[in-house]
Chains A and B, each alone.
Chain A
Amino acid sequence: MIDVATLSNTLLYSAFIIYLIGTVFFAATIKDKQKRENVGFVHKLAIFTTVIGLLAHVGYFVTRWIASGNAPVGNLFEFVTFFGMMLVFAFLILFSIYRIYLLGLFTLPIALLLIAYASMFQTEISPLLPSLQSHWLYIHVTTVGLGQAILAISFIAGLIYLIREIDQTIPTKKTKWLEVIMYTIFATVGFVVITSGFEAANYNATFTYEENGEELSLDYHLPAIFGPQDAELVTENRMDAWLDTPTWIQGAEAPRKLNTLVWSLIIGFALYVLVRLIVRKRIAAVIQPLLKKANSELIDEVCYRAVAIGFPVFTLGGLIFASIWAQQAWDRYWGWDPKEVWALITFFFYAIFLHLRLSRGWHGEKSAWLAVIGFGIIMFNLIVVNLVLAGLHSYA
Chain B
Amino acid sequence: MSDYICNACGQHNKEGTTICSSCGKPLDHEQSTKLLNMRYDGTAIRSKTRNRSIVDKVWNFFSSIKVGVTLIAIALIASAIGTIYPQEMYIPATVEPLEHYRDQYGISGQIYYQLGFHELYSSWWYMLIIGMIGISIFIVSLDRGIPLYKALKYQKVKRHQKFLTRQKLFREYENVSNQDKKTFVQNLKKRRYRIREDNGHILAEKGRFSRWGPYVNHTGLIIFLIGTLLRFLPFMHVDDMLWVREGETAVIPHTNQEYYLENNNFTVEFYGESEEDAKYEESLENVNQPIPKHFQTDAVIYRDTSMVTGADPELKKVKKGKIVLNEPMSINGLTLYQNSYQLNEFQSMSFNLHKKDDQSEESIGSFTVDLTEPKKRYTFDNGFEILLDEYFPEYEIVDGEPESVSNYPRNPGFVFLVYPPDSEEPEVSFLSIGRNIDPTNENQYKLSLADFEVRNVTGLSVKKDYTLPIVGLGAIIFMIGVVQGMYWHHRRIWIHPDDNRLLVAAHTNKNWFGLRKEFEKSIDHTNFSMIVDQEEEKEDNQ
A interface residue numbers (CB < 8 A to B): 1, 5, 67-69, 97-98, 122, 124-127, 129-131, 133-134, 136, 247-248, 250, 297-298, 301, 304-305, 308-309, 311-312, 315-316, 319-320, 323, 327-331, 333, 335-338, 341-342, 344-345, 348-349, 351-352, 355-356, 358-359, 385, 389, 391
User: A344 to B82, alpha carbons, bound, how many Å?
Assistant: 12
Query: Is the beta-carbon distance between A124 and B75 smaller than 8 angstroms?
Result: no
A311's contact among B295, B482, B510, by CB below 8 Å, is which?
B482
User: Could you give 5 example pairs across A and B, Cβ below 8 Å?
Assistant: A5-B279, A97-B514, A127-B277, A127-B280, A352-B76
Asked if B79 and A344 make an inter-chain contact with CB atoms under 8 angstroms apart, the answer reads yes
A358 touches B65 (CB 8 A): yes
Contacts A124-B283, A342-B83, A385-B83: A355 and B68 contacting too (C-beta < 8 A)?
Answer: yes
B461 and chain A: residue at smallest CB distance: A331
Q: Which residue from chain B places its CB closest to the CB of A325 in the assembled complex?
A: B326
Query: With a CB–CB cut-off of 8 A, which chain B residues contact A344?
Result: 79
Please tell me which stretch of B184-192, B285-293, B299-307 contacts chain A, meaning at least 4 of its Cβ atoms lie within 8 angstroms of it: B285-293
Cβ distance B150 to chain A, nearest Cβ, rounded Å: 20
Q: B interface, by DSSP: helix, strand, loop or mixed? A: helix
Cβ–Cβ < 8 Å partners of A329 in chain B: 325-326
A125 contact from B84, B279, B325, Cβ within 8 A: B279
Chain B 57-68 per-residue mask, 1 if CB under 8 angstroms from chain A, else 0: 000000001001
- Nearest CB of chain A from residue B14's CB, rounded to whole Å: 22
Note all chain B residues with C-beta closer than 8 A to A250.
Answer: 104-105
Across the interface, which residues of B come within 8 angstroms of A69, CB to CB? 276, 279
**Is A308 touching B76 in the complex (CB atoms < 8 A)?**
no
Selected from A328, A337, A342, A359, the residue in CB contact (under 8 A) with B326 is A328
Q: A129-B291, A130-B295, A130-B325 are in contact. Are A341 and B79 (CB under 8 A)?
A: yes
8 A Cβ contacts from B234-293 to A: 271, 276-280, 282-284, 286, 291-293
Q: A331 to B69, Cβ gap below 8 A? A: no
Question: What are the residues of chain A within 8 A of B271 when measuring CB–CB?
Answer: 127
Report if A312-B83 is in contact (Cβ < 8 Å); known contacts: A125-B283, A127-B291, A329-B325: no
Query: In angstroms, how far is the closest chain A Cβ from the Cβ of B110?
Result: 12
Q: Which residue of B lies closest to A360 (CB)?
A: B37
Known: A122-B283, A125-B279, A125-B283. A133 touches B326 (CB 8 A): yes
CB distance from A390 to the nearest CB of B (A): 8
The reply to whether the CB of B513 lies closer than 8 angstroms to some CB of chain A is yes
Query: Would you list which residues of chain B between 48 and 95 have a CB under 8 Å from chain A?
Result: 65, 68-69, 72-73, 75-76, 79-80, 82-84, 87, 89-90
Return the chain B residue nearest A304 by Cβ.
B510
- In Å, the complex CA distance between A126 and B271 comes to 10
| Given A126-B283, A315-B479, A348-B72, A301 and B512 contact (CB-CB distance below 8 Å) | yes
| A206 to B83 CA separation, bound complex (whole angstroms) | 32
Within 8 A of A (CB), among B503-522: 510-514
Q: Given A98-B513, A133-B325, A134-B326, A127 and B293 touching (CB < 8 A)? A: yes
Q: How far is the CA of A358 from the CA of B509 in the complex (A)?
A: 10
Contacts of B486 in A (CB 8 A): 308-309, 311-312
Instruction: For B282, list chain A residues within 8 Å (CB).
Output: 124-125
Contacts A133-B325, A311-B482 known; A333 to B471 CB distance under 8 Å? yes
- Contact B69 A355, beta carbon cutoff 8 Å: yes
Contacts A131-B326, A133-B326 known; A308 to B83 CB distance under 8 Å?
no
* B36 → chain A closest CB, angstroms: 12
Asked if B374 is an interface residue, CB under 8 A from chain A, the answer is no
A247 contacts B106, C-beta separation under 8 Å: yes
- State which of A304, A337, A349 has its C-beta within 8 Å of the C-beta of B76: A349
Write the chain B residue with the least CB distance to A337. Answer: B90
| Contact in complex: B65, A359 (CB < 8 Å) | yes
Chain B residues with Cβ below 8 Å from A311 are 482, 486
Chain A residues closer than 8 Å to B468, beta-carbon distance: 327, 333
Chain B: interface size category: 35 or more
Find out whether the CB atom of A328 lies under 8 angstroms from the CB atom of B76.
Answer: no
Q: Which of B65, B283, B292 interacts with A130 by CB under 8 Å?
A: B292
Contact check, B65 vs A312: say whether CB atoms are below 8 A apart: no
State how many angstroms separate the Cβ of A135 from the closest Cβ of chain B.
9
Would you call the interface of chain A mostly helix, strand, loop, or mixed?
helix
Q: Are A298 and B76 in contact (CB under 8 A)?
A: no
Give Cα distance in the complex from A12 to B293, angstroms.
28
Please give me the residue from chain B that is nearest to A389 by CB atom: B83
Nearest to B294 among chain A residues (CB) is A130
CB distance from B447 to the nearest CB of A (A): 36
**B166 within 8 Å of A by Cβ?**
no
Contact call B284/A127, Cβ cutoff below 8 A: yes
Nearest-CB residue, chain A, relative to B90: A337
Distance from A139 Cβ to chain B, minimum over Cβ atoms (Å): 13
A350 to B233, CA, bound (A): 32
Q: Which residues of B contact A391 (CB under 8 A)?
A: 90
A312 touches B483 (CB 8 A): yes
Q: B80 — which chain A residues lie within 8 A by C-beta? A: 341-342, 345
Residue of B nearest to A132 (CB): B326
With an 8 A cutoff between CB atoms, is B442 at the interface? no
CB distance from A269 to the nearest CB of B (A): 27
The answer to whether the Cβ of B463 comes within 8 Å of any Cβ in the partner chain is yes
**Is B149 in the interface zone, CB < 8 Å from A?**
no
Q: Which of A297, A305, A337, A351 contacts B72 (CB 8 A)?
A: A351
CB distance from A223 to the nearest CB of B (A): 22
User: Any chain A CB within 8 A of the CB of B404?
Assistant: no
B475 lies within 8 A of chain A by Cβ: yes
Q: With A and B bound together, what is the CA distance between A255 and B279 in angstroms?
A: 30
Q: Is the CB of A352 within 8 A of B73?
A: yes
Please tell me if the beta carbons of A308 and B510 are within 8 angstroms of each other in the complex. yes
Flag if A131 contacts B479 (CB, 8 Å). Answer: no
Q: Is the CB of A248 within 8 A of B339?
A: no
Q: Which residues of A contact B510 (CB under 8 A)?
A: 304, 308
CA–CA, A385 to B82, complex, Å?
Answer: 13
A137 — nearest CB in chain B belongs to which residue? B326
CA distance A84 to B82 in the complex (A): 29
Given A331-B339, A336-B87, 7 more contacts at CB 8 Å?
A: A129-B291, A130-B294, A130-B325, A133-B326, A319-B475, A333-B468, A336-B89
**Residues of chain A lying within 8 A (CB to CB) of residue B475:** 319-320, 323
**A1 surroundings in chain B (CB, below 8 A):** 278-279
Chain B positions 325-380 with a Cβ under 8 Å from a chain A Cβ: 325-328, 335, 337, 339
B499 interface residue (CB < 8 Å to A):
no
Residues of A within 8 A of B294 (CB): 130, 133
Q: How far apart are the CA atoms of A247 and B279 in the complex, in Å?
A: 38
**CA A39 to CA B18, docked complex, whole Å:** 45
Once the chains are docked, how many angstroms separate the CA of A136 from the CA of B328? 14
The residues of A that contact B279 with a CB separation of less than 8 Å are 1, 5, 67-69, 125
B452 to chain A, nearest CB (A): 29
Instruction: Kindly report which residue of chain B lies nearest to residue A380, judged by CB atoms.
Output: B80
How far is the CB of B25 from the nearest CB of chain A, in Å? Answer: 22
Docked complex: B102-151 residues within 8 A CB-CB of A: 104-106, 108, 121
CB-based contact B479/A320 at 8 Å: yes
Q: How far is the CA of A386 from the CA of B448 in the complex (A)?
A: 51
Which 6 pairs between the two chains have the least Cβ-Cβ distance? Answer: A126-B283, A134-B326, A348-B76, A331-B337, A124-B282, A338-B83
CB distance from A90 to the nearest CB of B (A): 15
CB of B401 within 8 Å of the partner chain: no
Q: Which residues of A contact B283 (CB under 8 A)?
A: 122, 124-127
| Given A336-B89, A389-B83, A352 and B72 contact (CB-CB distance below 8 Å) | yes
Q: Which of A130, A304, A312, A348 contacts B487 (CB 8 A)?
A: A312
| Chain A residues with CB under 8 A of B82 | 336, 341
Kindly state the separation between the CA atoms of A304 and B486 in the bound complex, as whole angstroms: 11
